[in-house]
Structure 1
Amino acid sequence: MVTDSYDSLSDFIAIPRIDGLALSPDGARTVLTVATLNKDATAYERALWEVPATAGATGDPVRLTRSAKGEAGAAFTSTGDVLFTSTRPDADGDDEKSQLWLLSAHGGEARCISRLAGGVSGIEALAADARAAILGAHLMPSASSLEDDARIRAARTKGKVNAILHSTYPIRDWDHDLGPAEPHLLALDLDGVPAEAARAEVPVAKDDGDAPTPYPETLPRPRDLTPQPGLSVDHRGVAVSPDGSTVIAALSVPVGRSSRTRLVSIDVASGAHTVLADEEGVDFVSPVISPDGASLAYGRGAKSTPAGPADQELWIANLDGSGAREIAADWDRWAASTAFSADGSALIVTADHDGRCPVFSIDVTTGEVTQITHDAAAYSAVAVDRTGAGLVALRATMLEPAHPVRIAFDGTVTRLANPAPAPEVSATLTDVDATAEDGTRVRGWLLTPPSASAASPAPLLLWIHGGPLNSWNQWSWRWSPALAVAQGYAVLLPDPALSTGYGLEFIARGWNSWGHKPYTDLLSITDAVESRPEIDETRTAAMGGSFGGYMANWVAGHTDRFDAIVTHAALWSLDQFGPTTDHADYWQSIFTPEAMVEHSPHHSVAEISTPMLVIHGDKDYRVPIGEGLRLWAELAEHFAAPDGSMDHRFLYFPDENHWILKPQHAIVWYETVFAFLAQHVRGEDRTLPEVLG
């Protein structure tokens, strides 16, 4: 069944996608990071493109960079140069570590301007009025210098040693191991960058065991602002003052096996640290500094407990931390991003809101909140035009991936040139809602194929989002409803209890009670949608990943109304998940012991009567592979036939994490899911991918 261009998975993974935006200081140029499929269709390569950013400007996108390794993390310096990170080899070497590169505003070739043995992990902040950069990098804890760091790394490489000795928790995060190198913040004076490219070797250990090659004198030497940090620079936000003299960072403070984050001011010249805000049981996050360098805005949130979710507050203070006060205290939304307006009179924030993620303006004096955008879209990477002429951002909807736009303060949205336009999705998008059993409004999106009608109703796919503090409000390349619509399914994307964008009380309805209100909310909105004439209520399936996978498991054990269930990277046994996930301190702190038992799906395994497709990646540290293995073992224990066969299936990825990211594996994922749904929902015999053997 071919309905549109999204019917072809190979075509889908080949669609270029935008995943970064930076705006020049004069507001005239936008640099976009565009990911494209490589030649063998097994990875994405990223390049930087420039498009005009002023309203009404004409001109085609221009590609700025081209390398086999790709580029990422673009940002503008105060003088209009573009900085980015890349593992591309320099003309003088073939180092595989990501380094910092500079592309001059005057043109010419990009130049590598860092030579850290462990590479640069990212550009953390750039001064608005000075040529100063704050970089993230990982250094060995026993290293006394950049050269010593290179020596220790070389010894590990030469000895083929991968062992890591830990003395603190956690030891891994999401999909990667932590250590032995520790995160640091480094200051870099860009005025020290030579006008012309110069030979600058990466520090390496010499074969005779002597000191390694010195850090090149031809490049500005990064200065460590966080010596001996431990894991404290696993930060939650970094800002630098316009003149480059002061860094404000949300740094981690160990608390047993947990942590909290506090705001620390770092004097760049001396390296001195001053704590600005620190409270037990509270996280201070996402600092931003006003254009005049006088004010500081940040987020403040108490730790959540089983009693309920904590609110996420916005605060304003002087740059030294004095005069701190909360603003917009009555605004029942959580800021996802924050920036000062060009004149510093307002905060420009984005926040989930009723299935969208609009842009808001918050007056820093009165706290008055004004919604700027009002369309059915989600905005991200919002950049403030320093000239005062509005904003530039990435805009996405449920039917269109991220694309660059300019936003006027009256709410007018103007599309900019797009180097990565996506094919149109042939679907009808409908805002749907229902009344939950407690009278609460529950809403979501319904996507239906062009063929769906009362005469030819479409089978329904209930797709449950992860998080759980999340919302279906924009396009996802990883979880793409467009592909299911192209297969002829109507796709329901609901926001049940625990979803963001509906206020704190809506989240609290499902807190410490995942199997109650979130579950009944899903059934209520499914009932409402199944009553629509274009929906075939006799052919239905449910699926989800992460928390959505938890809910799929819960659904499987508590109703037989669906014909098939797909559960990806799913929590199965909460008593097992809690202490084995990468950050057990959080997950075990938000449930009571009783709720961990009452709401664990594994207790209902014997009640499952619906065929399940279980999917898991072995490198998933957020929901460890043990959850999938135990689910599969218990399905086999209860349902395996004498010959060992089952209607259930287990799709296993040895080298993928919580998300299935490799393009060739994404194809296998969707082909397997759609074959499973075709068999059990539509009674079709669909061939599985040949590459599965």
Structure 2
Amino acid sequence: MKLCLLFTAVLLLANVAAHAQKAPFTAAEMLKLKRISEPNVAPDGHAVVFTVGEVDVDKNAQDRQLWIVSPNGTGLRKLTTEGRNTGARFSPDSKSIAFISTRGGSGQIWIMDADGRNPRQVTKLSSEADGVIWAPDGKSVVFTSEVYPECNADDACNAKLIAAEEKNKVKARTYTSLLYRHWTAWRGKRVKHLMTAQVDGGAVKDLTPGFKYDVPPFSLGGGGDYAISPDGKEVCYAANLDEDQATSTNWELYTIPIEGPSDGVEPKKISTSPGADASPQYSPDGKWIAWRMQVRAGYESDRWRLVVMDRESGRINVLTENLDRHVTGFTWHPDSRRLAFTVEDRGRQQAQLISVNGGGVRSMTQGATHVDDLQFTADGKTLIYTEVTGASPTEIYKAASSGGAPEPLTRLNEAFLASHDLRKLEEFTVTGAESGQVHSFLLKPPNFDSSKKYPVLFLIHGGPQGAWGESFSYRWNQQVFATAGFVVVMPNPRGSTGYGTKFTDDINGDWGGRAYEDIMAVADYVAKLPYVDGDRMAASGGSYGGYMVDWIAGHTNRFKALVSHAGVYDLSSMGGETEELWFSTWEFKGFPWQNQEMYDKWSPSRSAANFKTPTLVIHGELDYRVPYGQGLQLFTALQAQKVPSKLLVFPDEGHWVLKPQNSLLWYSTFLDWVEEWTKKP
């Protein structure tokens, strides 16, 4: 017995020593990770090309280059080194790769051999190019370009107007309609049009000439919002042609001959939903078009359904009507009889398979954490996808489509992660408002000692129709916060996605109600954990999470410190400043002058007299989603009442802090603040 106890003790000490030898996962270390995105499988299955982002802190930028790997995980190497290269797509014969590169000084379409040799420039547009996809014959491509509506594809016309605009000393803007700015940019005179060009040269054609709105619109639908039919004769794209762009989410799908409109040939609308229709994909045999659909007009967080349309009859069939979860992406099986799709469920994202006729679904990635970017090899036997966890960033995997254990194709961060101390997420569920079950994730700090008492940092997600999950974020990284010595708690209260439509909708018109009660129920549970110091808890959040922090400031003093990033403070002024007006008018059932009582009821500004908790306020001046006046108002209320507070403003950031050096400042200021106020008395 003594020998057994001694052996156990030795193993425990060895385990502790192993963890102690690993480097701490700080924000600076996090920026060293390679960031994989945009995988594309060659039609003949011989390789996968993808984008890798690498941060250069000194240059305060992220370099992006193309890499390639074979489906058996061999031959991993970098294909490009010049400029910034993204959006790679294999040609139909798998012999060439089209991509977007800035190596010539602006974003243009380039093509190279599949092995990376012989790069050549395809477009030389003053309006630049983006989002390239191949036509099935391999002789032409479809892409987008930001042009003046009066110029369309006439590059000489565009070049002249661009030069004149740059030369003009007057930079004033004039508008006669809403959505005059979006995300981080004011609306200019140019709009995004859909174009086509021959890869061996020739004139560029505009498929949406004269359109005064972007085609496709910004990424409400998640991107990939145009496609070419297998016979190469037709293009399907998403567009929102409603006059009032700021209050409409009515994306529709249209088809047009690949030659573009002509006399008597206009775009044909094929969708019927009053909500958004997005992400069209033709079946390999050309008989069907599938897309994702929302049914409620003006509600950007309505449940995304997977639908298919028989192209001959025009009949639309909703495949996932009985699945009470968001369809986040999909791909066709090569047999055109099935589709694989991803679905969000309780903090995870899995892949499932369904017949084109509907019916039951089959799980394809059971046990996975968060999968995305689904693609089949041409024979349909292998599924290629990306996966991310709470302790590791994106890598590319493959699995037999009939089932079986997945195999990694890339391990770009494996050695780095092995040398750093990252931990797995835990999870728990508590009873919240109206007896609802509230699911949360929890992360303990490195070298965790159950006999100690740790401070707690709550992370409250944005949206509010969003969720924390088994995923990896560079902006709110739970591992970095845990490394600083906190027990990190990530609750998914009312409004969170992945728990059913009703759970998500319960936040509508009730921002500070059930969601607040849910978070307080989680706080009650966590405060009683044996390794938690319930008197040393801090709360933080961004966007709606920042709203909830502002709401908490006026309704409880149980937290020692608060961090409000891009938080909504005054609902009435927010309703007049934000750009996507469908959001606030849906959430609060009209404009402020139409429903002032509800705006007042849930506005944190109305409880400012109760503020006592030390609060850090962070905002970006380029944030047009939650304009930075919201943060200034909050800081004014705190300072005027002598509440300990600090304001951090980024003049060159929007809703998200993205520049590497700004990110490092964000993390250090954030952690300094919560550490200062959660120190032991």
Give TM-score, length-normalised by structure 1.
Answer: 0.88
Q: How does 1:548-563 map onto structure 2 within 5 Å?
A: 548-563=545-560
1:274 to 249, 267, 279: 267
Q: In structure 1, give the amino acid aligned to 2:188.
A: G
For 2:371 and 2:187, locate their aligned partners in 1 and report how far apart those are by CA, in whole Å.
32
**Corresponding residue number in structure 2 for 1:499:** 496
1:82 to 80, 83, 97: 97
Identity, % of aligned positions: 29
The answer on 1:175 being equivalent to 2:173 is: no
For 2:24 and 2:375, locate their aligned partners in 1 and report how far apart those are by CA, in whole Å.
31
Judged with a 3 Å threshold, the aligned counterparts in structure 2 of structure 1 residues 116 and 71 are, in CA distance, closer, same or farther, namely: same
The answer on 1:189 being equivalent to 2:184 is: no
Q: In structure 2, give the amino acid aligned to 1:266.
A: I
Give TM-score, length-normalised by structure 2.
Answer: 0.89
For 1:475 and 1:71, locate their aligned partners in 2 and report how far apart those are by CA, in whole Å.
23
**Corresponding residue number in structure 2 for 1:660:** 657
**Corresponding residue number in structure 1 for 2:317:** 325
The answer on 1:367 being equivalent to 2:359 is: yes
Cα deviation, 1:226-281, whole Å, max 9, x if unaligned, reads 00111151435111112321111111121435332111111112433333335473
Q: How does 1:465-476 map onto structure 2 within 5 Å?
A: 465-473=461-469, 474-476=471-473
Query: 1:165 deviation in Å?
Result: 3.8
Query: 1:530 deviation in Å?
Result: 2.7
The answer on 1:446 being equivalent to 2:435 is: no
Q: How many residues are matched?
A: 639
Judged with a 3 Å threshold, the aligned counterparts in structure 2 of structure 1 residues 264 and 671 are, in CA distance, closer, same or farther, namely: same
* Range that drifts further, 19-28 or 288-297: 19-28
CA contact (8 A) 1:277 1:284 kept: no
Query: 1:293 deviation in Å?
Result: 1.1
For 1:361 and 1:161, locate their aligned partners in 2 and report how far apart those are by CA, in whole Å.
56
**Corresponding residue number in structure 1 for 2:123:** 114
Judged with a 3 Å threshold, the aligned counterparts in structure 2 of structure 1 residues 605 and 107 are, in CA distance, closer, same or farther, namely: closer
Judged with a 3 Å threshold, the aligned counterparts in structure 2 of structure 1 residues 39 and 679 are, in CA distance, closer, same or farther, namely: closer
The answer on 1:611 being equivalent to 2:614 is: yes
Q: In structure 2, give the amino acid aligned to 1:142.
A: E
The answer on 1:223 being equivalent to 2:205 is: yes
Judged with a 3 Å threshold, the aligned counterparts in structure 2 of structure 1 residues 232 and 12 are, in CA distance, closer, same or farther, namely: closer
Q: How does 1:90-169 map onto structure 2 within 5 Å?
A: 96-105=105-114, 107-123=116-132, 125-128=133-136, 130-143=138-151, 145-160=154-169, 162-169=171-178
Cα deviation, 1:339-379, whole Å, max 9, x if unaligned, reads 21121112211121111011111211133222221225111
Q: In structure 2, give the amino acid aligned to 1:527.
A: D
**Corresponding residue number in structure 2 for 1:72:** 86
| Corresponding residue SS for 2:392 | coil
Q: How does 1:506-521 map onto structure 2 within 5 Å?
A: 506-521=503-518
For 1:615 and 1:120, locate their aligned partners in 2 and report how far apart those are by CA, in whole Å.
35
Judged with a 3 Å threshold, the aligned counterparts in structure 2 of structure 1 residues 350 and 298 are, in CA distance, closer, same or farther, namely: same
For 1:232 and 1:449, locate their aligned partners in 2 and report how far apart those are by CA, in whole Å.
46
1:348 to 329, 340, 359: 340
CA contact (8 A) 2:446 2:483 kept: no
Q: Which runs of 5+ in 1 are unaligned?
A: 90-95, 194-218, 641-645, 685-693
The answer on 1:36 being equivalent to 2:26 is: no
**Corresponding residue number in structure 2 for 1:295:** 288
Judged with a 3 Å threshold, the aligned counterparts in structure 2 of structure 1 residues 73 and 161 are, in CA distance, closer, same or farther, namely: farther
Query: 1:19 deviation in Å?
Result: 2.6
For 1:472 and 1:333, locate their aligned partners in 2 and report how far apart those are by CA, in whole Å.
15
Query: 1:63 deviation in Å?
Result: 0.6
**Corresponding residue number in structure 1 for 2:417:** 423
Q: In structure 1, give the amino acid aligned to 2:197.
A: L
For 1:72 and 1:652, locate their aligned partners in 2 and report how far apart those are by CA, in whole Å.
31
CA contact (8 A) 1:447 1:492 kept: yes
**Corresponding residue number in structure 1 for 2:374:** 382
**Corresponding residue number in structure 1 for 2:571:** 574
2:627 to 615, 624, 629: 624
Judged with a 3 Å threshold, the aligned counterparts in structure 2 of structure 1 residues 162 and 381 are, in CA distance, closer, same or farther, namely: farther
**Corresponding residue number in structure 2 for 1:595:** 598
Q: In structure 2, give the amino acid aligned to 1:241.
A: S
**Corresponding residue number in structure 2 for 1:408:** 400
| Corresponding residue SS for 1:510 | coil
CA contact (8 A) 1:262 1:275 kept: no
| Corresponding residue SS for 1:253 | coil
CA contact (8 A) 2:621 2:627 kept: yes
| Corresponding residue SS for 2:511 | coil
Query: 1:401 deviation in Å?
Result: 0.6
- CA-atom RMSD, angstroms? 2.2
Judged with a 3 Å threshold, the aligned counterparts in structure 2 of structure 1 residues 273 and 412 are, in CA distance, closer, same or farther, namely: farther
Judged with a 3 Å threshold, the aligned counterparts in structure 2 of structure 1 residues 335 and 129 are, in CA distance, closer, same or farther, namely: farther
* Range that drifts further, 319-328 or 241-250: 319-328
For 2:306 and 2:569, locate their aligned partners in 1 and report how far apart those are by CA, in whole Å.
36
* Range that drifts further, 243-252 or 657-666: 243-252
Query: 1:491 deviation in Å?
Result: 0.6
For 1:232 and 1:108, locate their aligned partners in 2 and report how far apart those are by CA, in whole Å.
35
| Corresponding residue SS for 1:676 | helix
| Corresponding residue SS for 2:655 | coil
Q: How does 1:636-651 map onto structure 2 within 5 Å?
A: 636-637=639-640, 639-640=641-642, 646-651=643-648
| Corresponding residue SS for 2:434 | coil
Q: In structure 2, give the amino acid aligned to 1:222.
A: V
Judged with a 3 Å threshold, the aligned counterparts in structure 2 of structure 1 residues 516 and 487 are, in CA distance, closer, same or farther, namely: same
Cα deviation, 1:451-470, whole Å, max 9, x if unaligned, reads 33331132111101111221
Cα deviation, 1:511-554, whole Å, max 9, x if unaligned, reads 21111111111111222233222222221111011111111111
Query: 1:310 deviation in Å?
Result: 4.1
| Corresponding residue SS for 1:434 | strand
1:22 to 35, 40, 55: 40
| Corresponding residue SS for 2:267 | strand
Q: How does 1:231-270 map onto structure 2 within 5 Å?
A: 231-235=213-217, 236=221, 237-256=225-244, 257-259=246-248, 260-270=250-260
Query: 1:35 deviation in Å?
Result: 0.9
| Corresponding residue SS for 2:29 | helix
For 2:63 and 2:313, locate their aligned partners in 1 and report how far apart those are by CA, in whole Å.
42
* Range that drifts further, 318-327 or 246-255: 318-327
CA contact (8 A) 1:540 1:681 kept: yes
Query: 1:189 deviation in Å?
Result: 2.7
Q: Which runs of 5+ in 2 are unaligned?
A: 1-18, 590-594
| Corresponding residue SS for 2:241 | strand
For 1:568 and 1:481, locate their aligned partners in 2 and report how far apart those are by CA, in whole Å.
16
1:527 to 484, 504, 524: 524
**Corresponding residue number in structure 1 for 2:66:** 48
Judged with a 3 Å threshold, the aligned counterparts in structure 2 of structure 1 residues 399 and 420 are, in CA distance, closer, same or farther, namely: closer
CA contact (8 A) 1:464 1:548 kept: yes
| Corresponding residue SS for 1:402 | strand
Query: 1:672 deviation in Å?
Result: 0.6
1:542 to 526, 539, 542: 539
**Corresponding residue number in structure 2 for 1:204:** none
